[in-house]
Structure 1
Amino acid sequence: MCEKPRVGAVNRGDDHLSMATPAEELSPEKKKELITRNLQEVLGEDRLEALLKEGHRVRIYWGTATTGKPHVAYYVGVTKISDFLKAGCEVKL
């Protein structure tokens, strides 16, 4: 029988970042990895690194205009917002 993961439990056995990993336990490098992964371009990367190393909370505004009925492509944005939240960012929609 499998044991259910506990809230706040961290899997330290590999490099995988689970949903249960609190942002406070992530290094600035891991936070940057979450924030920038799967992005085509990152502007102000040096500033982002400095903010994370200084311990500042990054604030993000995610704006989009729906052009019709929501569809599967909206999932891409939702997964990116999830990365921002896992990294401890403050996200405004």
Structure 2
Amino acid sequence: MAGETLVAPELVDLEVVSVWCRQVAARLMPARRAASAVADLADLPLRRFSHRPLLHRIWQLRHTVTPYDAAYIALAEAFQVVLVTADARLSRASGVHCEIAAIGGR
């Protein structure tokens, strides 16, 4: 993906920070490391887009995936790009109009 522009819904930051908060609370990640990771996340060269223009499509996908996952799908559809995910379940979602590429993960 070198040289590619990465895009994601704005909620990506909240989802990632939420995971780190849970890891710190469970003592799986030191708070200092999480704080550093938050700073790195803010600097990540990622174009973040509002989910508001995608709400209609997010609603259409309600029977297939969560609204959070639907935001990623709707954005990939809008930009006509491949959605890259480590979520095997999401990679098998039906009714989507974009290619979904699964990478190692859950």
| TM-score normalized with structure 1 length | 0.27
Higher strand content, 1 or 2:
2
TM-score, normalised to structure 2's length? Answer: 0.24
Greater relative contact order (Cα < 8 A, sep 6+) = 1
